[in-house]
Amino acid sequence: MDILVFKTNIVDKNQIPLIAKWLSPLNGILKWNIDWHDKDKILRIESNRLQPEEVEIILQKAGYYCEELE
């Protein structure tokens, strides 16, 4: 299992259903959450077989900023 961590510009909890809609087609996501207390609105994804670039591309297509953190 991998834990992927991303900096995002997701600002509103009301966006969760839209984010879920965009992330759901990606194979290998076991669980995900957003740290609302972090200024960078960190998206954490527990996954099997998921490449960080896939997450970045799909969320950018949805209109969000998404950058993997080391």
Biggest alpha carbon distance in the chain? 29
Q: Are strands 66-68 and 2-8 parallel, antiparallel or unpaired?
A: antiparallel
For 53, residues 6+ apart whose C-beta sits below 8 A from its C-beta are: none
Range of the domain at 56: 2-31+39-68
How far does CA 27 lie from the centroid of its chain?
13
47 pLDDT band, cuts 50/70/90, is very high
One-letter identity of residue 17:
P
CATH (domain of 51): 3.30.70.100
- Cα 45 to the chain's mean position, in Å? 6
How many independent structural domains does the chain possess?
Answer: 1
What residue has token string 């950018």? 60
Confidence of residue 18 (pLDDT cuts 50, 70, 90): very high
pTM of the model: 0.91
